[in-house]
Structure 1
Amino acid sequence: MAEGRSNTGICERLFVSVAAVERHVTGIFTKLNLSQAATGQHRRVVAVLRYLGQ
């Protein structure tokens, strides 16, 4: 995600299924407490920014 890849791009790079990537991305959003109803924010961008801020 930090490289700007889509779920499909991630699965092709890591040789895993799209479903596996989706599960892991969902887990990341959960751990970062980024609900789907985040007000006007793109969850992938917020997750990457939090990662880069560490």
Structure 2
Amino acid sequence: MTKQMIGKNVLEISINEHELTKQQIDNIKRGVDYGKQKGVEVKFIIEK
């Protein structure tokens, strides 16, 4: 597989349904912003 064969980059993050701390939310936001800069789509999956 080569880089040219990859159509898009996606990162899926699984989060449990419990409330997140402010630090966790801030880190997730930073990760999403970094992903956008690098052309990575970020998807979240909420686990119950």
Q: TM-score range with shorter-chain normalisation?
A: 0.3 to 0.5
More helix by share: 1
Higher relative contact order (CA 8 A, sep 6+): 2
Q: TM-score, normalised by structure 1?
A: 0.35
Q: TM-score, normalised by structure 2?
A: 0.39
